[in-house]
Chains A and B, each alone.
Chain A
Amino acid sequence: MAEDSFERFYTATYHRLLRQLAVVTGDRGDAEDVLQEAYGRAALRWERLADYEAPEAWVRRVALHLAADRARRARRRAAALLRLRPPAPVAELSVEGLDLARALRRLSVGQRQVIVLHHLVGLPVVEVASQLRVPVGTVKTRLARGRATLTRHLETKEEVFSDE
Protein backbone atom coordinates (compact mmCIF):
# COMPACT_ATOMS: atom_id res chain seq x y z
CA MET A 1 0.00 0.00 0.00
CA ALA A 2 2.74 2.39 1.01
CA GLU A 3 4.78 1.31 -2.02
CA ASP A 4 1.91 2.14 -4.36
CA SER A 5 1.53 5.49 -2.71
CA PHE A 6 5.23 6.28 -3.14
CA GLU A 7 5.19 5.21 -6.78
CA ARG A 8 2.22 7.45 -7.51
CA PHE A 9 3.91 10.37 -5.80
CA TYR A 10 7.18 9.67 -7.64
CA THR A 11 5.55 9.46 -11.06
CA ALA A 12 3.47 12.56 -10.48
CA THR A 13 6.29 14.78 -9.28
CA TYR A 14 9.48 13.53 -10.97
CA HIS A 15 9.47 15.63 -14.14
CA ARG A 16 8.32 18.76 -12.37
CA LEU A 17 11.12 18.56 -9.81
CA LEU A 18 13.66 17.57 -12.46
CA ARG A 19 12.92 20.75 -14.40
CA GLN A 20 13.47 22.88 -11.32
CA LEU A 21 16.65 21.11 -10.30
CA ALA A 22 18.04 21.21 -13.83
CA VAL A 23 17.86 25.00 -13.84
CA VAL A 24 19.58 25.16 -10.43
CA THR A 25 22.39 22.77 -11.37
CA GLY A 26 22.59 23.76 -15.04
CA ASP A 27 23.10 20.10 -15.89
CA ARG A 28 20.46 17.41 -16.37
CA GLY A 29 22.73 14.60 -15.21
CA ASP A 30 23.51 16.35 -11.94
CA ALA A 31 19.85 17.17 -11.47
CA GLU A 32 18.81 13.56 -12.04
CA ASP A 33 21.43 12.36 -9.60
CA VAL A 34 20.54 14.65 -6.70
CA LEU A 35 16.86 14.07 -7.34
CA GLN A 36 17.29 10.29 -7.20
CA GLU A 37 19.20 10.65 -3.96
CA ALA A 38 16.42 12.82 -2.52
CA TYR A 39 13.72 10.38 -3.64
CA GLY A 40 15.75 7.54 -2.14
CA ARG A 41 15.79 9.28 1.21
CA ALA A 42 12.08 9.99 0.88
CA ALA A 43 11.40 6.31 0.20
CA LEU A 44 13.13 5.38 3.45
CA ARG A 45 10.72 7.48 5.49
CA TRP A 46 7.73 7.45 3.19
CA GLU A 47 5.26 6.22 5.80
CA ARG A 48 5.84 9.42 7.73
CA LEU A 49 6.31 11.71 4.72
CA ALA A 50 3.07 10.53 3.11
CA ASP A 51 1.19 12.27 5.90
CA TYR A 52 2.89 15.58 5.17
CA GLU A 53 0.88 18.30 3.53
CA ALA A 54 3.48 18.65 0.76
CA PRO A 55 5.98 15.79 0.53
CA GLU A 56 7.05 17.27 -2.79
CA ALA A 57 8.42 20.28 -0.95
CA TRP A 58 10.41 17.94 1.32
CA VAL A 59 12.00 16.17 -1.65
CA ARG A 60 12.73 19.49 -3.34
CA ARG A 61 14.38 20.88 -0.24
CA VAL A 62 16.58 17.80 0.19
CA ALA A 63 17.51 17.88 -3.50
CA LEU A 64 18.32 21.60 -3.35
CA HIS A 65 20.60 21.06 -0.37
CA LEU A 66 22.32 18.16 -2.10
CA ALA A 67 22.76 20.32 -5.20
CA ALA A 68 24.30 23.10 -3.11
CA ASP A 69 26.68 20.67 -1.39
CA ARG A 70 27.65 19.21 -4.72
CA ALA A 71 28.26 22.66 -6.20
CA ARG A 72 30.62 23.51 -3.36
CA ARG A 73 32.52 20.27 -3.79
CA ALA A 74 32.55 20.69 -7.55
CA ARG A 75 34.20 24.08 -7.27
CA ARG A 76 37.02 22.54 -5.30
CA ARG A 77 37.36 19.63 -7.70
CA ALA A 78 36.88 21.60 -10.88
CA ALA A 79 40.52 21.99 -11.76
CA ALA A 80 41.28 18.30 -11.21
CA LEU A 81 38.25 17.17 -13.19
CA LEU A 82 39.21 19.34 -16.12
CA ARG A 83 42.53 17.56 -16.21
CA LEU A 84 41.08 14.08 -15.84
CA ARG A 85 38.15 13.93 -18.22
CA PRO A 86 36.67 15.74 -21.20
CA PRO A 87 33.87 18.17 -20.48
CA ALA A 88 30.43 16.60 -20.11
CA PRO A 89 28.19 16.80 -23.16
CA VAL A 90 26.05 19.90 -23.14
CA ALA A 91 22.32 19.66 -23.78
CA GLU A 92 21.25 21.18 -27.06
CA LEU A 93 20.00 24.57 -26.09
CA SER A 94 18.59 27.44 -28.09
CA VAL A 95 20.64 30.61 -28.29
CA GLU A 96 18.38 32.22 -25.73
CA GLY A 97 18.56 29.17 -23.46
CA LEU A 98 22.33 29.07 -23.73
CA ASP A 99 22.59 32.75 -22.81
CA LEU A 100 20.38 32.23 -19.78
CA ALA A 101 22.24 29.07 -18.73
CA ARG A 102 25.56 30.93 -18.94
CA ALA A 103 24.17 33.86 -16.99
CA LEU A 104 22.80 31.52 -14.31
CA ARG A 105 26.23 29.97 -13.87
CA ARG A 106 27.48 33.36 -12.75
CA LEU A 107 25.11 33.25 -9.77
CA SER A 108 25.88 31.51 -6.53
CA VAL A 109 23.95 28.31 -5.98
CA GLY A 110 21.95 30.09 -3.26
CA GLN A 111 20.92 32.80 -5.71
CA ARG A 112 19.96 30.19 -8.31
CA GLN A 113 17.82 28.40 -5.73
CA VAL A 114 15.78 31.48 -4.88
CA ILE A 115 15.44 32.51 -8.53
CA VAL A 116 14.08 29.07 -9.43
CA LEU A 117 11.78 28.79 -6.42
CA HIS A 118 10.43 32.30 -6.84
CA HIS A 119 10.31 32.70 -10.61
CA LEU A 120 9.94 29.15 -11.91
CA VAL A 121 8.07 27.38 -9.12
CA GLY A 122 6.16 30.57 -8.32
CA LEU A 123 6.55 30.52 -4.55
CA PRO A 124 6.19 33.80 -2.65
CA VAL A 125 9.29 35.11 -0.88
CA VAL A 126 8.08 33.95 2.54
CA GLU A 127 7.51 30.46 1.22
CA VAL A 128 10.96 30.40 -0.40
CA ALA A 129 12.50 31.36 2.93
CA SER A 130 10.58 28.59 4.64
CA GLN A 131 11.63 26.01 2.03
CA LEU A 132 15.31 26.91 2.28
CA ARG A 133 15.16 27.61 6.01
CA VAL A 134 16.81 30.99 5.67
CA PRO A 135 15.56 34.44 6.76
CA VAL A 136 13.21 36.33 4.47
CA GLY A 137 15.77 39.13 4.20
CA THR A 138 18.34 36.69 2.88
CA VAL A 139 15.93 35.54 0.19
CA LYS A 140 15.22 39.15 -0.83
CA THR A 141 18.93 39.94 -1.00
CA ARG A 142 19.69 36.85 -3.06
CA LEU A 143 16.81 37.60 -5.38
CA ALA A 144 17.90 41.19 -5.91
CA ARG A 145 21.54 40.31 -6.49
CA GLY A 146 20.69 37.35 -8.67
CA ARG A 147 18.38 39.37 -10.86
CA ALA A 148 20.91 42.18 -11.11
CA THR A 149 23.58 39.71 -12.26
CA LEU A 150 21.24 38.11 -14.78
CA THR A 151 20.24 41.50 -16.12
CA ARG A 152 23.85 42.56 -16.48
CA HIS A 153 24.89 39.43 -18.30
CA LEU A 154 21.84 39.14 -20.50
CA GLU A 155 22.15 42.79 -21.43
CA THR A 156 18.49 43.23 -20.69
CA LYS A 157 16.98 46.34 -19.26
CA GLU A 158 16.56 46.27 -15.48
CA GLU A 159 12.82 46.83 -15.65
CA VAL A 160 12.33 43.61 -17.64
CA PHE A 161 13.21 41.57 -14.55
CA SER A 162 11.84 43.98 -11.98
CA ASP A 163 9.60 42.44 -9.37
CA GLU A 164 5.82 42.97 -9.07
Chain B
Amino acid sequence: MSKDLERRLDRLATELTQGAVAPPPAAARRRGRRHRRRQLALGAVLVVAVAGVWAGPGAGLLDRPGSSSAVPGAPSTVAAPPLAVPKVAEGQFAVMIQDPPGGFPRRIQGPITNCGRIDTGANLYPQMVVGEVRYQAKILVVNVLPQPAVKEPPLQPRNFRTPWAVASLRPLDGNGGEDQPFLVAEQPQAHLQVDRADGTKGSIVGAYRVVRGVRSGAATTIQTIRELTGAQLAMAWNCEAKP
Protein backbone atom coordinates (compact mmCIF):
# COMPACT_ATOMS: atom_id res chain seq x y z
CA MET B 1 0.00 0.00 0.00
CA SER B 2 1.21 3.42 -0.80
CA LYS B 3 2.46 4.95 2.41
CA ASP B 4 2.59 8.36 0.80
CA LEU B 5 -1.09 8.39 -0.19
CA GLU B 6 -2.02 6.98 3.19
CA ARG B 7 -0.06 9.72 4.94
CA ARG B 8 -1.61 12.45 2.81
CA LEU B 9 -5.13 11.17 3.30
CA ASP B 10 -4.57 10.92 7.04
CA ARG B 11 -3.32 14.50 7.19
CA LEU B 12 -6.21 15.76 5.05
CA ALA B 13 -8.70 13.99 7.32
CA THR B 14 -7.13 15.65 10.33
CA GLU B 15 -7.20 19.09 8.74
CA LEU B 16 -10.79 18.73 7.58
CA THR B 17 -12.07 17.69 11.01
CA GLN B 18 -9.88 19.89 13.17
CA GLY B 19 -11.88 21.30 16.06
CA ALA B 20 -14.95 19.18 15.29
CA VAL B 21 -17.05 18.45 18.35
CA ALA B 22 -19.28 15.42 18.43
CA PRO B 23 -22.93 16.37 19.00
CA PRO B 24 -24.50 14.63 21.98
CA PRO B 25 -25.73 11.11 21.27
CA ALA B 26 -29.26 12.28 22.11
CA ALA B 27 -29.16 14.39 18.94
CA ALA B 28 -28.54 11.26 16.91
CA ARG B 29 -31.45 9.54 18.66
CA ARG B 30 -33.74 12.48 17.87
CA ARG B 31 -32.66 12.35 14.27
CA GLY B 32 -33.40 8.65 14.19
CA ARG B 33 -36.90 9.28 15.48
CA ARG B 34 -37.44 11.96 12.81
CA HIS B 35 -36.29 9.47 10.19
CA ARG B 36 -38.81 6.94 11.46
CA ARG B 37 -41.62 9.52 11.42
CA ARG B 38 -40.74 10.42 7.84
CA GLN B 39 -40.84 6.76 6.87
CA LEU B 40 -44.21 6.27 8.55
CA ALA B 41 -45.63 9.39 6.90
CA LEU B 42 -44.39 8.27 3.50
CA GLY B 43 -45.87 4.83 4.08
CA ALA B 44 -49.22 6.36 5.00
CA VAL B 45 -49.21 8.52 1.87
CA LEU B 46 -48.46 5.48 -0.28
CA VAL B 47 -51.24 3.48 1.35
CA VAL B 48 -53.73 6.29 0.75
CA ALA B 49 -52.58 6.69 -2.85
CA VAL B 50 -52.81 2.96 -3.59
CA ALA B 51 -56.20 2.73 -1.90
CA GLY B 52 -57.39 5.72 -3.90
CA VAL B 53 -56.35 4.16 -7.17
CA TRP B 54 -57.75 0.78 -6.18
CA ALA B 55 -61.15 1.76 -4.83
CA GLY B 56 -61.59 5.47 -5.26
CA PRO B 57 -62.12 7.81 -8.16
CA GLY B 58 -58.97 6.52 -9.83
CA ALA B 59 -60.14 2.91 -9.90
CA GLY B 60 -60.56 3.04 -13.65
CA LEU B 61 -56.84 3.69 -14.04
CA LEU B 62 -56.09 0.09 -13.20
CA ASP B 63 -58.56 -1.21 -15.74
CA ARG B 64 -57.42 0.82 -18.70
CA PRO B 65 -55.98 -1.05 -21.63
CA GLY B 66 -52.22 -1.00 -21.40
CA SER B 67 -52.16 -1.14 -17.61
CA SER B 68 -50.77 -4.25 -15.99
CA SER B 69 -54.13 -5.40 -14.65
CA ALA B 70 -56.05 -4.96 -17.87
CA VAL B 71 -57.04 -8.04 -19.80
CA PRO B 72 -55.42 -7.75 -23.24
CA GLY B 73 -57.94 -7.47 -26.00
CA ALA B 74 -60.94 -7.38 -23.70
CA PRO B 75 -63.47 -4.81 -24.84
CA SER B 76 -64.63 -2.21 -22.36
CA THR B 77 -67.93 -3.19 -20.80
CA VAL B 78 -68.51 0.16 -19.12
CA ALA B 79 -71.37 1.90 -20.83
CA ALA B 80 -70.91 5.56 -20.10
CA PRO B 81 -73.83 7.87 -20.81
CA PRO B 82 -73.19 9.78 -24.02
CA LEU B 83 -72.01 13.34 -23.75
CA ALA B 84 -74.54 15.99 -24.50
CA VAL B 85 -74.06 17.48 -27.94
CA PRO B 86 -72.95 21.09 -27.62
CA LYS B 87 -75.20 23.62 -29.26
CA VAL B 88 -73.56 25.85 -31.81
CA ALA B 89 -74.66 28.86 -33.77
CA GLU B 90 -74.15 29.26 -37.48
CA GLY B 91 -70.55 29.58 -38.43
CA GLN B 92 -69.45 28.10 -35.12
CA PHE B 93 -68.09 24.84 -33.87
CA ALA B 94 -67.66 23.43 -30.36
CA VAL B 95 -65.66 20.57 -28.87
CA MET B 96 -66.02 18.90 -25.45
CA ILE B 97 -63.40 16.37 -24.36
CA GLN B 98 -63.64 14.14 -21.29
CA ASP B 99 -60.35 13.34 -19.56
CA PRO B 100 -58.38 15.27 -22.18
CA PRO B 101 -54.75 14.29 -22.74
CA GLY B 102 -52.04 16.90 -22.13
CA GLY B 103 -52.55 20.15 -23.98
CA PHE B 104 -56.13 19.56 -25.08
CA PRO B 105 -58.93 21.67 -23.61
CA ARG B 106 -61.99 20.24 -21.86
CA ARG B 107 -64.23 22.51 -23.82
CA ILE B 108 -63.68 24.98 -26.57
CA GLN B 109 -65.79 26.69 -29.15
CA GLY B 110 -65.24 29.33 -31.73
CA PRO B 111 -65.85 30.52 -35.23
CA ILE B 112 -65.17 28.12 -38.05
CA THR B 113 -62.33 29.46 -40.09
CA ASN B 114 -62.20 26.82 -42.72
CA CYS B 115 -65.11 24.70 -43.70
CA GLY B 116 -65.83 22.88 -46.88
CA ARG B 117 -64.85 20.27 -49.32
CA ILE B 118 -61.32 18.96 -49.38
CA ASP B 119 -60.41 16.55 -52.09
CA THR B 120 -57.44 14.42 -51.20
CA GLY B 121 -57.41 12.10 -54.14
CA ALA B 122 -59.49 9.99 -56.45
CA ASN B 123 -61.86 7.73 -54.55
CA LEU B 124 -60.58 9.04 -51.26
CA TYR B 125 -61.98 11.48 -48.77
CA PRO B 126 -64.37 13.20 -51.08
CA GLN B 127 -65.58 15.64 -48.50
CA MET B 128 -64.30 16.98 -45.24
CA VAL B 129 -65.42 19.69 -42.91
CA VAL B 130 -62.63 21.49 -41.14
CA GLY B 131 -62.78 23.81 -38.18
CA GLU B 132 -59.83 25.64 -36.75
CA VAL B 133 -59.56 27.73 -33.62
CA ARG B 134 -56.58 29.22 -31.88
CA TYR B 135 -56.04 27.66 -28.46
CA GLN B 136 -53.23 28.94 -26.22
CA ALA B 137 -50.10 28.92 -28.36
CA LYS B 138 -51.47 26.38 -30.82
CA ILE B 139 -54.26 25.80 -33.24
CA LEU B 140 -56.90 23.24 -32.46
CA VAL B 141 -57.89 21.68 -35.75
CA VAL B 142 -61.09 19.70 -36.06
CA ASN B 143 -61.60 17.48 -39.05
CA VAL B 144 -64.79 15.59 -39.65
CA LEU B 145 -65.41 13.02 -42.30
CA PRO B 146 -69.13 12.52 -42.05
CA GLN B 147 -69.63 10.38 -45.11
CA PRO B 148 -68.11 7.12 -46.21
CA ALA B 149 -64.53 7.80 -46.98
CA VAL B 150 -64.52 6.55 -50.51
CA LYS B 151 -66.62 6.28 -53.59
CA GLU B 152 -66.69 3.09 -55.61
CA PRO B 153 -65.10 0.59 -55.41
CA PRO B 154 -65.28 0.03 -51.65
CA LEU B 155 -62.01 1.01 -50.17
CA GLN B 156 -61.74 1.92 -46.54
CA PRO B 157 -58.89 3.77 -44.95
CA ARG B 158 -56.82 1.40 -42.89
CA ASN B 159 -56.50 3.59 -39.84
CA PHE B 160 -59.98 5.02 -39.30
CA ARG B 161 -63.48 3.74 -39.68
CA THR B 162 -65.77 6.37 -41.09
CA PRO B 163 -67.52 8.43 -40.16
CA TRP B 164 -64.90 9.89 -37.95
CA ALA B 165 -63.89 13.10 -36.25
CA VAL B 166 -60.40 14.16 -35.43
CA ALA B 167 -59.17 16.88 -33.09
CA SER B 168 -55.53 17.82 -33.20
CA LEU B 169 -53.34 20.54 -31.79
CA ARG B 170 -50.78 22.02 -34.14
CA PRO B 171 -48.17 24.73 -33.83
CA LEU B 172 -49.27 28.15 -35.03
CA ASP B 173 -46.99 28.02 -38.03
CA GLY B 174 -48.77 24.91 -39.25
CA ASN B 175 -45.61 22.84 -39.30
CA GLY B 176 -44.85 19.79 -37.25
CA GLY B 177 -48.46 18.76 -36.93
CA GLU B 178 -47.81 15.21 -38.00
CA ASP B 179 -46.03 14.14 -34.85
CA GLN B 180 -48.55 15.84 -32.54
CA PRO B 181 -51.06 13.62 -30.76
CA PHE B 182 -54.62 13.84 -31.98
CA LEU B 183 -57.93 12.46 -30.84
CA VAL B 184 -60.05 10.20 -33.00
CA ALA B 185 -63.70 9.39 -32.46
CA GLU B 186 -64.93 6.88 -35.03
CA GLN B 187 -67.41 4.15 -35.77
CA PRO B 188 -68.72 2.12 -34.05
CA GLN B 189 -68.04 3.91 -30.74
CA ALA B 190 -68.95 7.31 -32.12
CA HIS B 191 -72.41 8.34 -33.23
CA LEU B 192 -72.79 10.77 -36.08
CA GLN B 193 -75.69 13.08 -36.62
CA VAL B 194 -75.69 14.93 -39.96
CA ASP B 195 -78.22 17.65 -40.51
CA ARG B 196 -77.23 18.39 -44.07
CA ALA B 197 -76.38 15.90 -46.77
CA ASP B 198 -73.06 17.49 -47.50
CA GLY B 199 -72.09 17.26 -43.86
CA THR B 200 -71.65 20.94 -43.31
CA LYS B 201 -73.84 20.81 -40.23
CA GLY B 202 -73.86 18.05 -37.67
CA SER B 203 -72.37 16.50 -34.61
CA ILE B 204 -70.43 13.44 -33.52
CA VAL B 205 -70.29 11.99 -30.01
CA GLY B 206 -68.44 8.97 -28.70
CA ALA B 207 -65.40 7.40 -27.13
CA TYR B 208 -62.09 8.49 -28.54
CA ARG B 209 -58.57 7.12 -28.78
CA VAL B 210 -55.34 9.09 -28.97
CA VAL B 211 -53.11 8.55 -31.98
CA ARG B 212 -50.19 10.20 -33.67
CA GLY B 213 -48.63 10.07 -37.06
CA VAL B 214 -45.26 8.41 -37.37
CA ARG B 215 -43.31 9.41 -40.42
CA SER B 216 -41.44 6.59 -42.07
CA GLY B 217 -39.72 7.70 -45.24
CA ALA B 218 -42.33 9.27 -47.48
CA ALA B 219 -45.24 7.58 -45.73
CA THR B 220 -46.94 8.47 -42.46
CA THR B 221 -48.50 5.70 -40.44
CA ILE B 222 -50.84 6.02 -37.50
CA GLN B 223 -49.81 4.79 -34.09
CA THR B 224 -52.30 4.53 -31.23
CA ILE B 225 -50.79 5.94 -28.06
CA ARG B 226 -53.91 5.65 -25.88
CA GLU B 227 -56.60 3.12 -26.58
CA LEU B 228 -60.28 3.66 -25.85
CA THR B 229 -60.80 4.32 -22.16
CA GLY B 230 -64.46 5.22 -22.19
CA ALA B 231 -63.63 8.92 -22.19
CA GLN B 232 -65.68 10.65 -24.87
CA LEU B 233 -65.56 13.66 -27.04
CA ALA B 234 -68.45 15.55 -28.55
CA MET B 235 -68.20 17.90 -31.49
CA ALA B 236 -70.75 20.01 -33.22
CA TRP B 237 -70.29 22.26 -36.19
CA ASN B 238 -72.41 24.45 -38.31
CA CYS B 239 -70.88 25.80 -41.46
CA GLU B 240 -74.05 27.43 -42.66
CA ALA B 241 -73.68 31.13 -43.09
CA LYS B 242 -76.50 33.43 -42.27
CA PRO B 243 -78.40 34.53 -45.37
Residues on A lying within 8 angstroms of B by beta carbon are: 6-7, 10-11, 14-15, 18-20, 22-23, 26-28, 31-32, 36-37, 39-44, 91-94, 96-97, 100-101, 104, 115-116, 118-120, 122, 147, 150, 156, 160-164
Instruction: Report A-chain residues with C-beta under 8 Å of the C-beta of B117.
Output: none
Within 8 A of A (CB), among B12-46: 12-18, 20, 22-23, 25, 27-36
Is B242 an interface residue when CB atoms closer than 8 A count as contact? no
Contact A37 B22 (CB under 8 A): no
Enumerate 30 A-B pairs (CB-CB under 8 Å) in ascending A order. A6-B29, A10-B22, A15-B20, A19-B14, A19-B16, A22-B13, A22-B16, A23-B9, A23-B16, A27-B16, A32-B23, A36-B23, A39-B28, A40-B28, A40-B32, A41-B35, A43-B28, A43-B32, A91-B15, A92-B18, A93-B12, A93-B16, A96-B11, A97-B15, A97-B16, A116-B9, A122-B6, A147-B2, A150-B5, A162-B2
Residues on B lying within 8 angstroms of A by beta carbon are: 1-2, 4-6, 8-18, 20, 22-23, 25, 27-36
Interface of A is mostly: helix
Contact A91 B9 (CB under 8 A): no
Contact B17 A40 (CB under 8 A): no
Nearest CB on A from B235, distance (A): 44
Report the separation of the CA atoms of residues A97 and B15 in the bound assembly, to the nearest whole angstrom. Answer: 8
Contact B12 A100 (CB under 8 A): yes
Instruction: State which of B5, B27, B36 has its C-beta within 8 Å of the C-beta of A160.
Output: B5
Contact B13 A20 (CB under 8 A): yes
Chain B residue at smallest Cβ distance from A90: B16
Contact B6 A37 (CB under 8 A): no
Contact A10 B28 (CB under 8 A): yes
Interface of B is mostly: helix
Contact B1 A164 (CB under 8 A): yes
Report the separation of the CA atoms of residues A13 and B31 in the bound assembly, to the nearest whole angstrom. Answer: 18
Instruction: Report A-chain residues with C-beta under 8 Å of the C-beta of B5.
Output: 115, 119, 147, 150, 160-161
Report the separation of the CA atoms of residues A42 and B36 in the bound assembly, to the nearest whole angstrom. Answer: 11
Instruction: Report A-chain residues with C-beta under 8 Å of the C-beta of B12.
Output: 23, 93, 97, 100-101, 104
Chain B residue at smallest Cβ distance from A164: B1
Nearest CB on A from B68, distance (A): 29
Contact B16 A91 (CB under 8 A): yes
Instruction: Report A-chain residues with C-beta under 8 Å of the C-beta of B22.
Output: 10-11, 14-15, 18
Contact B35 A161 (CB under 8 A): no
Chain A residue at smallest Cβ distance from B4: A160
Interface centre among B2, B14, B34, B35 (most CB of A within 10 A): B2
Contact B20 A120 (CB under 8 A): no
Report the separation of the CA atoms of residues A32 and B25 in the bound assembly, to the nearest whole angstrom. Answer: 13
Contact B1 A32 (CB under 8 A): no
Chain B residue at smallest Cβ distance from A19: B13
Report the separation of the CA atoms of residues A22 and B9 in the bound assembly, to the nearest whole angstrom. Answer: 10
Instruction: Report A-chain residues with C-beta under 8 Å of the C-beta of B18.
Output: 91-92
Instruction: Report B-chain residues with C-beta under 8 Å of the C-beta of A20.
Output: 13
Contact A6 B9 (CB under 8 A): no
Contact B2 A18 (CB under 8 A): no
Nearest CB on A from B24, distance (A): 9
